[in-house]
Structure 1
């Protein structure tokens, strides 16, 4: 038999249960704090040709509304560390962007020159032959393209993010 006064064991059990509840609440609070410190993922841009796709986070900018400087934009467009996809000129090239990019209005640049008007759509298509046609400024068997997010104003000349890719001609 126990030597504790009547009801003392039950009081001790309640204290243990209370400590466990406080510890669990503390763990949940710490977990929420850690999750709130995580950065929001940057929006993605995707290119699809046939059944092949490539996606990329922003090469430059892409987070927030801060405008890129012209020198930074030029450097981004010349980046060598970009995703590459092979394109058959007879295929359709599909460009897709996250809604965050579409809300800012976006356009496609080919070798640094606008290929399309800016748009709020999340999806655009371009014939593959365009990317290897000298009339559009193409040179050789590869072309650099970029999805460029604007500032939300139609026809705006300010860019807030660049997603660069390289398209290689399929022989």
Structure 2
């Protein structure tokens, strides 16, 4: 049985894996503060995860013969790719950031004009935490599934 997903769904998920982290970072520039500075200083710690994500996208979803396109239940992997992509974008959009002036905002509070609302800031930070969990869980599932599919494909080549 061929469980191949339509190429466009896999391609879009692969592109989201590559582009959404950059868009999430761009969202932090709406109201830059110390969180952005820390992310830049310690970005080298996140870089290996992003590189793995790019490799997963390139070898698993963007190639016509990608292991995640051919996988049985490929929809789960595509869903995980979207969950992690939307998760990082949400973190960038909702994470409260502040500077030495004592103000703290997120892209959400600035763009929606709620800069003086403590409730909006609490809601924004709650969303940032939820999206952060989605980001990490989706990423972990995606990488584990990719490794499993690579092992299955390798075994199939050896036996076939």
Q: TM-score when scaled to structure 2? A: 0.23
Question: Which is richer in helix?
Answer: 2
Rg larger in 1 or in 2?
1
Q: Report the TM-score when normalising by structure 1.
A: 0.22
User: Which structure has the higher relative contact order (CA within 8 Å, separation 6+)?
Assistant: 2
Give 1 or 2: higher strand fraction.
1
